Amino acid sequence: MAKALVMHEAGGPEVLRVEEVDVGDPGPGEVRIKQTAIGVNFHDIYVRSGLYKTLPLPGIPGLEAAGEITAVGEGVEGFAVGERVVYVSGNYGAYADERRISADTLVKIPDGVDEISAASMMVRGSTAHVLLHQVFPLQAGQTILVQSAAGGVGQLLVQWAHHMGATVIGTVGSEEKAELVRARGCDHVILYREEDIVERVRAITQGEGVAVAYDSVGKDTFYASLDCLAPLGHLVNFGQSSGPVEPMPVSLLARGSNTVVRPMRGHYTRDPKERDATAAAFFEALKSGVLTPEPPRVYPFEQIGQAHQDMEDRLTSGAVALKV
């Protein structure tokens, strides 16, 4: 039997309850994993609250986790008992200490990368890579805006974009978060509770605006991000931490011949070769020191409710993980 965090209905953090579930032996193409670390993402909060109705109930949420393979089913090639692996799965079920999963979803964790980092940064790291290379192929010399720059994805975007030669403007909610992003190469930090984002961006860019705005906050910042764009600039709205963006008149984009995209990481990594290449690029950036994200904030498995609450209350920075 495994320990899992099961939800029977949507609601607040209290709907996630520890229950015993049967894992069983892996079927054809599957492996069984003893999980040691689980990533906690905003996606999980949207599922738990009912904003996303993508998990059949009762069900076990959670997109990503890491651990050790304890059994291998028939026909599985390339993976063996004892190997350290990480996965991201749209079929959920990561909130458990042990599970069966299709071997197709697995990525090996390279030496030098710990399981907490792997489990809590696969989604965030591959998202940052996709945003900077596929959604908007960033070029050296461009100026960009990153909303929620101290967030899990935000810190990775800031540091990676800076490394790629961009000038990075980041918004944060506190002086403490400002220090975190300055340490990761953010060239200009805007404390959005005290300063007007659009005015500061226009001043920093001598009125031009930014080539791209990466916005994961959604409802509260969408129009400010749009107002910060240079002519031909792109708004990449990849999240909705403050709520979904209201419908927008397309004619607004004519002001600067701007574009808006609402990307989902999974669409860019559907092809296993793309997924593996993205994961490899992220792990390499971690190992080589190009990325030095703040260590993930770690909660005991049973304190999932607190982890969700802290993320919703904006108390976290960087990635968030459960330790099993």
Ligand X SMILES: NC(=O)c1ccc[n+]([C@@H]2O[C@H](COP(=O)([O-])OP(=O)(O)OC[C@H]3O[C@@H](n4cnc5c(N)ncnc54)[C@H](OP(=O)(O)O)[C@@H]3O)[C@@H](O)[C@H]2O)c1
Residues interacting with ligand X, by CB under 6 A?
41-43, 123-124, 127, 148, 150-154, 172-173, 177, 216-217, 220, 238-242, 263-265, 311-312, 314, 316
Question: If you search the block for the tokens 């049967």, which residue do you land on?
Answer: 22
Q: Which is nearer to ligand X, 83 or 220 (CB)?
A: 220
Q: Which is nearer to ligand X, 96 or 178 (CB)?
A: 178
CB of 196 to ligand X, least distance (A): 15
- Cα dihedral: 279, 284, 282, 285 (round 10): 180
Shortest Å distance, C-beta 263 to ligand X: 6
User: DSSP secondary structure string, 234-275?
Assistant: EEEE---TT-PPPP--GGGGGGTT-EEE---HHHHT-SHHHH
Q: Quote the tokens at residue 98.
A: 């042990």
2-7 vs 16-21, strand pairing mode: antiparallel
Find the shortest distance in angstroms from Cβ 254 to ligand X: 26
- Smaller CB separation from ligand X, 26 or 296: 296
Whether residue 304 contacts residue 16, with contact meaning beta carbons closer than 8 Å, is answered with: yes
Tell me the residue number closest to ligand X, measured at CB: 151
Would you say 47 and 92 are in contact if contact means Cβ atoms under 8 Å apart?
A: yes
Is 61 or 154 the residue whose CB approaches ligand X more closely? 154
User: Smallest gap, in angstroms, from Cβ of residue 318 to ligand X?
Assistant: 7
Measured from the CB atom, the residue of 32 and 177 that comes closer to ligand X is: 177
User: For residue 194, how many other CB atoms are within 10 A of its CB?
Assistant: 7
CB of 217 to ligand X, least distance (A): 4
Q: Which is nearer to ligand X, 35 or 148 (CB)?
A: 148
In the complex, minimum distance from the CB of residue 243 to ligand X, in angstroms, rounded to a whole number:
7
Element (H, E) at 167: strand 167-172
